[in-house]
Amino acid sequence: MQEKTNVMRILDSKKIEYKSHYYGDSDAISGVDVASELGENPDQVFKTLVTRAHSGAYYVFVIPVSKELDLKKAAKIVKEKNVEMIKQKELLPLTGYIHGGCSPVGMKKFFKTVIDITSKSYDTIFISAGKVGYQVELNVEDLTKVIRIEFEDLVK
């Protein structure tokens, strides 16, 4: 039985159309496994990565699950000397989300968010619905109505 996640409630409140997808409660599966479980193109399923810059600022990058974030490109885009992934234990207190269920929508606090430019190549993309086992599929332009995002080339 699917439940409404906070992300879904936020999308509902903004009258954003989306489809929810449930793939089970395994926290041991990679993003590529999630795409496979959903029967979707892994380039169309996006993961949310949280980084910290040397300055202490936090940034969120959203990239296809099949790709790797290019930290040098990411730092340049946010005009920082460098950025690094935050430690897993920092994720929940910082964002309100756990590893495997982190969504760019509905974090405790808004952080500058950049999504990979390839997201514009698809009618819809998949992002975490804020809980392990749940994804939402939506138009990336609709995502810009919920959070401020920039589009850039982020991957290696």
> What does the pLDDT read at residue 103?
97
User: Is residue 134 in a domain?
Assistant: yes
- Rounded average pLDDT over 138-156: 96
Dist. CA 156–CA 72, nearest whole Å: 9
pLDDT at residue 154 in the model: 98
pLDDT score of 104 more than 80: yes
Domain span at residue 13?
A: 6-152
Q: Is residue 38 part of a domain?
A: yes
Q: How many domains does the chain have?
A: 1
Which of 21-30, 61-70, 120-129 is the least confident region? 21-30
- Calpha distance 153→156 (Å, rounded): 9
> Which pLDDT band holds residue 23 (cuts at 50, 70, 90)?
confident
**Which CATH number fits the domain that encloses residue 16?**
3.90.960.10
* CA nearest neighbour of 52 among 31, 71, 30: 71
Q: Of all helices (H) and strands (E), which one includes residue 115?
A: strand 112-116
Please give the backbone phi and psi of residue 115, each rounded to the nearest 5 degrees, phi first.
-115, 145
Q: Provide mean pLDDT across the span 118-127.
A: 97
Is 1 a member of any domain? Answer: no
pLDDT at 1 over 60: no
Asked if 18 and 25 count as a contact pair (C-beta separation under 8 A), the reply is no
Which residues are paired to 113 by β-bridges? 60, 149
Residue 110 CB coordination number (10 Å): 11
Tokens of 70: 């290019």
**% of the chain exceeding 70 in pLDDT:** 96
Write the DSSP symbol of residue 88: H
Q: What is the distance between the alpha carbons of residues 56 and 96, in angstroms, rounded to a whole number?
A: 19
Does 77 map to a domain? yes
145 is a domain residue: yes
pTM of the model: 0.95
- Describe the chain by its helix, strand, coil percentages, rounded to 5: 25, 30, 45
The answer to whether residue 40 is domain-embedded is: yes
Place of tokens 């993961």: 47
